[in-house]
Each structure stands twice: as structure tokens, then as C-alpha cells.
Amino acid sequence: MKLNAKSIGIVIASTAALLLSVALVAFSQGPGGPRGGRDFERGPGREGFGLFTRDLNLSDDQKAQIEKIRTAFEESTRSLHEQMRALHENEGDPLNTAFDEAAVRSAAEARAKIDVELEVARAKMMSQIGSVLTTEQKAQLAAKRLQRRPPPPPPAPGQ
């Protein structure tokens, strides 16, 4: 298969979109992935959510409001992150301990409940941030999301 400049450009753009999508997924899951892992104190960026807000031309007032929302989110979810960390620290080593399905199931359900609470808190935070943005800024953000969205998977064989 020969690659011309257009094909190379498409490959580069697709790769960049994929990398950006992975970064967005990691960011959306919060610190340490979907199960917590590290303190949220470092958060998604002390500089006002970095990539999230960089091109939105936020006013100083908007930046201050978003920082206040982010700080409140960190404080309100700190205990959830601590609970998640404790669950992970208390996990047994599955390679060196006897398998206990009830214990594994119980721990997984406890982590899932915390994940639900964290996801609700993140959605609430994003809603509050959305109320700070202008209609134009929301449109810019929506356009960024569309650009970062990976292309749909190819159809399954035989379809």
C-alpha cells in the first residue's frame, strides 16, 4: 500500500485524535483512573483545567468561579477518594492468596458505589462550570469535544 501526503496527513490526524481521546478519558475518570488511586488535591490542573479552558478566553471572574467550583469538588470528593484508596490498599494479592469470590465481589461492589458517587459529583461540577460559560464558550467547548471524539469503529466483518 502506497502512502501519499494525504494518507499520511489522515494517519497523523487520526493518531492525534486517538491520543487526545485517551487523554480525555483519563482526565474524565479523575485521578488514578476510574478507581481513584492518588489524592485529588493535584486535580485536573491548578491553572483552570488546562486544555479544557485554554482557548475559551475566560474572563478573570469566570476563572475565579471555576476555580471555586473545582476546589469545592475536590473537598466534597476527598473522602470518596480516601475510601477508594483504602479499598485498593486492602485488596489481597490474587496470585498469592486463595480465591474468595464473595470478598472479591463485595470489594468490587464497594468500588462501584464509590465510582457512581464520583461520576455524579463530576457531572454536577461540569454542570456548574457550564453555568459560568457563555453560549459562545459552550459552543467552542462542544466543537472541541467533537474534534476529540474518535471515529466510529469499522463495521463488523460480513456487514
C-alpha span between 78 and 4 (Å, rounded): 51
Query: What residues does each domain of the chain span?
Result: 5-148
Q: What is the pLDDT of residues 11-39, one digit of tens each?
A: 576 665 555 555 555 555 555 444 443 33
Q: How far apart are CA 17 and CA 8, in angstroms?
A: 14
Given this model, what pLDDT does residue 8 score?
Answer: 64
pLDDT at 141: 86
Q: Which regions of the chain are under pLDDT 50? A: 32-48
**pLDDT computed for residue 94 by the predictor:** 79
The pLDDT score that the predictor gives to residue 47 is 43
Q: How many Cβ atoms are within 10 Å of 29's Cβ, its own excluded?
A: 17
Query: For residue 97, what is the DSSP state?
Result: S
pLDDT at 158: 74
Length of the chain: 159
